[in-house]
Amino acid sequence: MPNMKLDKKKLLRQMLDDLQSDLDAREQWMLKRKYWDSKFHGWFQKEDFPWPGATSINLPMIMTQSIRLQAIMHNALTGIIPFFNVKALHKAYVDSEELVTDHMTYQHIQEMEWERCADEMAWRWIRDGNVFPVMSWFKQSRKLWDVHFFPPDAVPDEVVQKLFKGKTIISVKPQGGTTFEVIYSQDEGERKAIVDFTPGEKELQARVRHDKTEEHPLLTVPATEDIVMPFHATDIQKASRVAQRLWLTVDDIVRGRKAGYYDEIDDEDMKAIKAAAKVERTRPEDSRKVQDDENQGLSKRQEEVESFKPVDAHVYYYRADADGDGLDEDLIVWFDRGSERLLRVRYLGEVYRTGHRPLTNITFMPEPGRMYGMGIPEMFESLSDTLNLIHKQGLDAGTIANGPFGFYRPSASALKPETIRYELGTLIPVDNPREDVYFPQFGNASQGWTFNELHYLEDWGNRIIGQGAVQFGQVPQGGAAALRTAKFGLALMAQGEVITNSFLRRMQRGIEWLLRYQFELNKQYLPPKVTFRTLGDMEPGANPFREISREHYDFDPRFIFSANTVSSNPEVRRQTS
């Protein structure tokens, strides 16, 4: 822990109280999220009106509109490589633009799993109205074993040369028996590997153990409810506090402590953390996940071995007077809420040189003056309710038409005052069928009104997110002439995508912040020399492998996005190339 004049117990107590206060303040918001989740999935109780067992079928309007918009956004974010270009704001650094663009694209696709992250970001953004992506620096060292097979008469010295082809071998030292220590150079640094040979009649097995260190920017997309802040905060960077729930296990804490990362815990604290992890608890803020589990038939928590039991860990971006100067400083604090133990405390600027918190807020439909926005389920709630109501009325009307009720004369000789069971071909004798039995006739028997209303409401739903016949791959009624040439067809498509492009621009503004943060992390943490492969288009014959260091990031960047909802369409790119 850096030199801080902090009462750690007092700080932890204050953070726990503030976190609980923020959770209580958003309780109704959580209930609404559960309610909108139910509408998205079509999780409804059985109807008992106008009679028990009445129609309870849900038309998936909210889901279909969400899927459609999510597909558009995902394609726009992943359909072009690279989907952005880095531009230097000073002419002296123009030569670094292409290299930095290629390297950041490599990090996105190869190291950060951009396709998966973009998919998850689009889903949470559309469904919840907000997404809070986190851009941090990831570093992990692991011991790995690689197994290779060679002919049984292969010479070990020659095998070693093949195993480390492309690397400079500095020395090979016997370790006894068939085991050797190999020192080699890679990325301007010395590395060590252990090679163990197992001879056999049919093959020679070579097992290579080496230490692999991964370090690169890491993009994570936490669940919306796992980010907690004062409910009326308007800026995630300026909010007095922001908490992120970390889904860690006891094993994660043990490893972090051993590596010196969680440096605030001792043996007694570790015992308390393990004891707290054994207690099965469901907090109110978990109600949304519990609802999802129950509706999917996963209502019982599975038992885990002790090392993999979940720990209720959080990272808190907090402000407190840490140096005794009477002014609050930005801190980043890790703690376990279950055992109420502090794990790690640092100045924010010590971990992230920019001084900015490593997360941002991307809003789907902004609400002025509020952090939380509106998602598709909230936008379509009333429209979906009306659509389902009319659809259910139409089905119930069909049920009545297929099995009508009626009236009969009590004095009719063949009719008893009880329910009459009937089946196809049954004839019930009465004295005067025309007068003794009467079935009332209901208006709108053709259901024409129902179909017209359903079509009208569906059209309104498409208009809200700017989807029409062209966007669904159809020719609009009466508009065939506008699609006879590629020029006018593209112009029509571009005009039709005005609304979805406005949604995309909001997403891109948030991604631009993430790219800036990724850029700054590379400037701060990138190793002295990194070799990577260019993944985008290249000139014929060009070497795809390139080298970069943090010095190449020593400029002020601007990020330009190269795709919109029209240009990311492969057929459009072919037409305009």
DSSP-derived 3-state class of residue 549: coil
Q: Are 211 and 142 in contact (CB under 8 A)?
A: yes
Q: What is the pLDDT of residue 424?
A: 55
Question: What residues form DSSP beta bridges with 188?
Answer: none
Q: What is the pLDDT of residue 465?
A: 77
Q: For residue 441, is pLDDT > 60?
A: yes
User: Measured between alpha carbons, how far is residue 441 from residues 23, 134, 400, 406, 534 in Å?
Assistant: 56, 63, 11, 10, 73
Of the pLDDT bands very low, low, confident and very high (cuts 50, 70, 90), residue 411 is low
**Across 253-340, where does the E strand assignment appear?**
310-320, 329-336
Of the pLDDT bands very low, low, confident and very high (cuts 50, 70, 90), residue 72 is confident
Q: What is the pLDDT of residue 126?
A: 94
The mean of the pLDDT values for the chain is 84
User: Measured between alpha carbons, how far is residue 528 from residues 141, 188, 279, 441 in Å?
Assistant: 18, 8, 46, 85
Of the pLDDT bands very low, low, confident and very high (cuts 50, 70, 90), residue 294 is confident
Phi, psi of 329 (to 5 degrees): -110, 155
Q: Are strands 241-249 and 310-320 parallel, antiparallel or unpaired?
A: antiparallel
Angle 457-459-465 (CA atoms, 0-180°, nearest 5)?
110
Lowest mean pLDDT among 139-148, 389-398, 494-503, 531-540: 494-503
Q: For residues 55 and 413, give the distance between their C-alpha atoms in angstroms, rounded to a whole number.
A: 36
| Percent of the chain that is helix, strand, coil (3-state, to 5) | 40, 20, 35
294 backbone φψ class: left, alpha, beta (φ>0; ψ -120 to 50): alpha
User: Measured between alpha carbons, how far is residue 205 from residues 68, 196, 253, 448 in Å?
Assistant: 52, 8, 37, 76
Which residue matches tokens 């850096």?
2
Q: What is the pLDDT of residue 236?
A: 94
Q: What is the pLDDT of residue 416?
A: 65
Which of 335, 117, 347 has its CA nearest to residue 243? Answer: 335
Q: For residues 430 and 59, give the distance between their C-alpha atoms in angstroms, rounded to a whole number.
A: 44
Of the pLDDT bands very low, low, confident and very high (cuts 50, 70, 90), residue 305 is confident
Amino acid letter, residue 568: S
Confidence (pTM): 0.83
pLDDT of 330-386, one tens digit each? 999 999 999 999 999 999 999 998 899 999 999 999 888 888 899 999 999 999 999
- DSSP for 456-484 reads HHHHHHHHHTT--TTTTT-PPTT-GGGGS
Q: Can you list the alpha helix ranges (DSSP code H) found in 297-375?
A: 348-351
Q: For residue 187, is pLDDT > 80?
A: no
- DSSP for 411-434 reads T-TT--SSPPP--TT-----S-HH
Q: What is the pLDDT of residue 232?
A: 86
Q: Is the dihedral of CA 552, 554, 555, 559 positive or negative?
A: positive
Q: What is the pLDDT of residue 574?
A: 55
What average pLDDT does range 181-188 have in this prediction?
Answer: 77
Angle between helices 287-295 and 27-41 (to 10 degrees): 20
Q: For residues 99 and 88, give the distance between their C-alpha atoms in angstroms, rounded to a whole number.
A: 12
What average pLDDT does range 131-154 have in this prediction?
Answer: 89
